[in-house]
Amino acid sequence: MKEKFYLGTYTKRESKGVYSVILNKETEQLENLTLEAALENPTYLYYSKENHLLFAVGKEHKDAGVTANLTLTSPVKRLSSFYDQQAVPCYIRYNERSHDLLTANYHGGFIELYHYDNKNHSISFVDKKVHSGSSIHENQTAPHVHYTDYTPDEKWIVVCDLGIDTVFTYKRTAEGLEEVAQYKTKAGSGPRHLAFHPTLPIAYLICELDATVEVLSYNNKNGTFRNLDKIALTTEDQQAWGGAIHLTRDGRFVYASNRGFDALYTFSVDASSGLLTLVQTIESYGSVPRDFHLSNDEAYVVVGHQESDNLTLFKRDLETGELTLLQKDFYAPEVVCVVPQ
């Protein structure tokens, strides 16, 4: 049995755009790196299984924005694009029900809302929200939006702004986006990505600048968050640089990466409180594990490294959550995002 993963990348050195790779589950090895779309800095991707669409951020010439691509063939087929930003966004999310597209722009400190017409495959602009402010870290002289996504019930849209230590909650209105709440992290934390528990009213926030994971209570009635715990991914002698965070579908385990220490962390989740207990810390076997993802059967984890140009493959114990190295030297250039098909 084989499974395809799409890879978002920087194109500063060797990469040419969006790639795919095959996980061969019989040999338990990665194989067949393929260039799917030539595009400048397609650093983040979203794959819609329902519509066989791969959405990518990227840049062509001097303009940046989003593209929609049909994945029924390989290489993928470009359906449409919309370029209205100066810097490439760093996150993208597509809503299969509403056909809305969300992007987060780190350099500009804003989010944008688009609409995708799935009949004529066009993308249109809807709204833009620009943040303001700063914080205490040297990387926080301005807002830096790093994430925007829907809550599990799709009632709210949440946004992580690394530059001003704030998680925003918005609601989608007929006109666009309306802010309804803010959650403030400790100054200098740099909230990066958020992942929700599948059944508990809990979210897990990875902070980039202090390499921590916050356990947050989530109120779906008003879209607010409250801190329950804050866990350091590093000790004092290790470099702090939080990366990605993902949960298993059953909500039993949380995985996080630290790009400063080049490691992955496995946490078990308390079934009633949602609080975390560290199970394992394991080397990622590469430099700057920017992103990783579980396979669709959650038996494997694929890790992408931005600086060492390699993917690492781990086998995952479904009962304990622990990872075991299978492959560490598969070439893939400048990987920033890993998305299973």
pLDDT tens-digit map of 65-112: 999 999 999 999 999 999 999 999 999 999 999 999 999 999 999 999
Q: What is the DSSP letter of 90?
A: S
Whole-angstrom distance, CA of residue 102 vs CA of residue 288:
26
Q: Average pLDDT, stretch 238-251?
A: 92
CA torsion 161-93-246-54 (nearest 10°) is: -140
Confidence grade of residue 247 (pLDDT, cut at 50, 70, 90): very high
Parallel/antiparallel/unpaired status of strands 145-150 and 224-232: unpaired
Look at residue 239 in the predicted model and tell me its pLDDT.
76
Say yes or no to pLDDT of 237 above 70. Answer: no
Q: 3-state DSSP call for residue 339?
A: strand
Place of tokens 């199970």: 279
Both tokens of residue 151?
A: 């809550």
Whole-angstrom distance, CA of residue 188 vs CA of residue 208:
9
Whole-angstrom distance, CA of residue 90 vs CA of residue 274:
28
Look at residue 240 in the predicted model and tell me its pLDDT.
80
Is-contact 247 296, C-beta < 8 A? no
Strands (E), 100-190: 100-105, 110-117, 122-130, 145-150, 157-161, 166-172, 177-184
Whole-angstrom distance, CA of residue 60 vs CA of residue 194:
29
Region class of 321: left (phi > 0), else alpha (psi between -120 and 50), else beta: left
Q: 3-state DSSP call for residue 73?
A: coil
Q: Average pLDDT, stretch 298-309?
A: 98
Say yes or no to pLDDT of 267 above 90. Answer: yes
pLDDT tens-digit map of 130-160: 999 999 999 999 999 999 999 999 999 999 9
